[in-house]
């Protein structure tokens, strides 16, 4: 039975889901050294933000197939090392959206009305009403840096408070901004004209220290900053200095570069700052949501199914996944077929889509074709993560073409492989929910992709089918299906046999030696 390690306090709901199929070990608190010692035994790892899945952990994870981060960010996971090993990394991009959105508003209100300090003073027996005069949100301008799910949610709620909202995001369109009631602003405009600024960006080389002292000095007098996204986007030392010198009027920070923060952290004891210990996703509902999201992804991955929330492969929305999912198995089998039929090493692979399917992102389908093409010829496991990289390492150029028109089928996938001086083509579609190969090198067929196929172009003359059938029968090889494909080339047909047994090389050579046979190739899907 496959084994899963769950660390960092994963919600029991997700663990219960996985225990229905797998063995799950729970270690709510685990040191890096302990993780290094035991990771080799596990097929999957579930983490939150505490454990660092660094390159040394991944190097020892001999069986690991997937790492699930119960949350949005994956900055505690070495993505490059995981991808190089073919390990899927998933997160839960929507599971804690509401929790993080609401915590941002809570931090904004707490900061603007001095609620934490006022609460503490009352507990200490004081009644300092004049000391805690705050500011209202109504009529103020909120700058939202990063207009994804959380940023958009914050903007929507801020507008309900009567705030004006400026949104900065490289991918924010005017149409989307209008729908949200947000003004699109450049970064410089936002920091210079906002009364409150909240960040909702991932931590990348481009966003690290994007708000530091030079930016703070350009902000409005009385500006207040909120960071419930990732530590390091706002420079912590510069923020402490700006608070103490009155350059920034207030701040509310939930995330830090190093967590937990040390007792001598510059923000501890700074003026007008609210600090919380990374509580953005800490609601009962969010913890259950991200746990179930990641558990579903791990279950799918360990069962050989694609995962829509993977961050180191082509991302696919749930809506798109529903459309393309029925084609994934077919696409993989088309890749396996083209691998078997190609003459020599494949140098270029072209995947063409026709019909309604061209209206959605087909990147994952193309990856499935590549996966199917490489699986039969590589010793290492080929999956949806490493397939594009493995093809690139071998100098195989992958191209994707879309034509909305489709004359014969509502949707059609065509795979063409180019090798040295030759090319071959297979086409497939769905009949209902069943994938079918409908054409091989211009021969029209109707083939159910089975575990094994024997493909034989031959002379169109009497007795060919009987000869092959007799030869197979004498060697104890059962034929469970047969198709004869026609083409416009006179005197030439294509026979495709679905067979239930391995074909020994001497039998295959005997078939090839027949005068009426041009060639014979076996397509074996057992490894695909």
| C-alpha 284 chain-centroid distance | 25
pLDDT at 354 over 60: yes
The CA distances from residue 266 to 7, 215, 243, in Å, are: 30, 19, 11
| Mean pLDDT of the 315-340 span | 86
pLDDT at 362: 92
- Please tell me the distance from the alpha carbon of residue 242 to that of residue 17, in angstroms, as a whole number: 48
The dotted CATH code for 318-524 is: 3.30.1330.90
Longest dimension (CA), the chain: 105
- Please tell me the distance from the alpha carbon of residue 102 to that of residue 160, in angstroms, as a whole number: 13
Q: What is the pLDDT of residues 462-482, one digit of tens each?
A: 888 888 889 989 889 999 888
Q: What is the pLDDT of residues 270-293, one digit of tens each?
A: 999 999 999 998 899 999 999 999
The CA distances from residue 97 to 92, 151, 200, 229, 307, in Å, are: 9, 9, 11, 11, 20
As annotated, the active-site residues are 230, 259, 278
Task: State the pairing for strand pair 66-69/88-90.
Answer: parallel
Q: For the whole model, what pTM was predicted?
A: 0.62
| C-alpha 404 chain-centroid distance | 26
Q: How confident is the model at residue 379 (pLDDT cuts 50, 70, 90)?
A: low
Domain ranges across the chain: 3-93+285-302, 97-275, 318-524
426's tokens: 């297979």
Q: SS in 3 state form for 355-383?
A: EHHHHCCCHHHHHHHHHHHHCCCCCCCCC
The full DSSP string for 376-410 is TT-SS---TTTHHHHHHHTT-EEEEEEES--SS-S
CATH class as words, domain 97-275: alpha beta
Please, are residues 369 and 331 in contact by the beta-carbon 8 Å criterion? Answer: yes
Give the highest mean pLDDT range of 93-102, 224-233, 338-347, 500-509: 224-233
For residue 354, the surrounding DSSP H or E stretch is strand 346-355
The architecture CATH gives domain 3-93+285-302: 3-Layer(aba) Sandwich (3.40)
pLDDT at 300 over 80: yes
The CA distances from residue 429 to 261, 324, 433, 497, 499, in Å, are: 56, 12, 10, 19, 22
Range name among 54-68, 87-101, 231-245 with the lowest pLDDT average: 87-101
Q: What is the pLDDT of residues 414-444, one digit of tens each?
A: 999 998 778 999 999 999 888 999 999 989 9
| C-alpha 41 chain-centroid distance | 24
- Please tell me the distance from the alpha carbon of residue 119 to that of residue 464, in angstroms, as a whole number: 91
Q: What is the pLDDT of residues 50-71, one digit of tens each?
A: 899 999 999 999 999 999 999 8
Look up residue 322 and give its DSSP letter.
H
Q: What is the pLDDT of residues 135-189, one digit of tens each?
A: 999 999 999 999 988 999 999 999 999 999 999 987 788 888 999 999 999 999 9
Beta bridge partners of 187: none
| Equal CATH topology for 3-93+285-302 and 97-275 | yes
Q: How confident is the model at residue 386 (pLDDT cuts 50, 70, 90)?
A: confident
Q: How confident is the model at residue 381 (pLDDT cuts 50, 70, 90)?
A: low
The CA distances from residue 370 to 194, 365, 382, 402, 526, in Å, are: 49, 9, 9, 17, 16
The CA distances from residue 127 to 118, 121, 136, 518, in Å, are: 8, 7, 21, 97
Q: What is the pLDDT of residues 363-374, one digit of tens each?
A: 989 999 999 998
């Amino acid at each position: 039975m496959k084994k899963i390690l769950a660390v960092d306090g994963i919600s029991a709901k997700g663990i219960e889901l996985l225990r229905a199929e797998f063995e799950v070990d729970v270690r709510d608190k685990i040191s890096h050294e302990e993780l290094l010692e035991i990771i080799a035994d596990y097929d999957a790892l579930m983490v939150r933000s505490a454990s660092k899945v660094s390159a040394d952990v991944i190097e020892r994870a001999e069986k690991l197939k997937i790492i699930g981060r119960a949350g949005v960010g994956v900055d505690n996971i070495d993505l490059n090392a995981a991808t190089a090993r073919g390990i899927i990394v998933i997160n839960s991009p929507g599971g804690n959206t509401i929790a993080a959105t609401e915590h941002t508003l809570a931090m904004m209100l707490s900061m603007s009305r001095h609620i934490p300090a006022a609460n503490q003073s009352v507990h200490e027996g004081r009644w300092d009403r004049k000391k805690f005069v705050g500011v209202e949100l109504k009529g103020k301008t909120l700058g939202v840096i990063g207009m994804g799910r959380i940023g958009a949610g914050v903007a929507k709620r801020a507008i309900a408070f009567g705030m004006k909202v400026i949104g900065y995001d490289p991918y924010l369109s005017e149409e989307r901004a209008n729908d949200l009631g947000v003004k699109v602003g450049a970064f410089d405009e936002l920091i210079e004209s906002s009364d409150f600024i909240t960040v909702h960006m991932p931590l990348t080389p481009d966003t690290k220290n994007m708000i530091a002292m030079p930016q703070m000095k350009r902000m409005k007098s009385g500006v207040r900053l909120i960071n419930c996204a990732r530590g390091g986007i706002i420079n912590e030392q510069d923020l402490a200095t700006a608070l103490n010198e009155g350059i920034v009027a207030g701040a509310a920070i939930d995330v830090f570069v190093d967590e937990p923060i040390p007792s001598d952290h510059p923000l501890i004891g700074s003026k007008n700052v609210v600090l919380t210990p990374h509580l953005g996703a800490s609601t009962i509902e969010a913890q259950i949501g991200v746990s179930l999201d990641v558990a579903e992804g791990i279950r799918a991955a360990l069962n050989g199914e694609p995962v829509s929330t993977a961050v180191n492969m082509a991302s696919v929305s749930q809506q798109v996944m529903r459309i393309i999912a029925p084609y994934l198995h077919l696409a993989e089998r088309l890749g396996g077929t083209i691998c078997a039929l190609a003459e020599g090493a494949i140098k270029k692979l072209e995947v063409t889509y026709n019909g309604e399917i061209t209206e959605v992102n087909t990147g994952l389908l193309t990856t499935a074709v590549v996966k199917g093409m490489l699986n039969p010829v590589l010793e290492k496991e080929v999956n949806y993560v490493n397939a594009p990289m493995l093809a690139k390492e071998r100098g195989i150029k992958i191209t994707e073409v879309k034509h909305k028109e489709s004359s014969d089928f509502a949707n059609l996938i065509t795979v063409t492989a180019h090798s040295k001086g030759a090319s071959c083509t297979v086409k497939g579609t769905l009949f209902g929910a069943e994938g079918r190969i409908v054409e091989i090198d211009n021969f029209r067929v109707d083939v159910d992709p089975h575990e094994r196929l024997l493909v034989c172009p031959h002379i169109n003359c009497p007795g060919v089918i009987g000869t092959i059938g007799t030869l197979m029968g004498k060697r104890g090889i059962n034929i469970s299906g047969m198709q004869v494909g026609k083409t416009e080339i006179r005197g030439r047909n294509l026979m495709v046999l679905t067979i239930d047994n391995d074909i020994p090389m001497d039998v295959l050579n005997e078939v090839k030696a027949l005068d009426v046979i041009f060639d014979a190739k076996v397509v074996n899907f057992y490894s695909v």
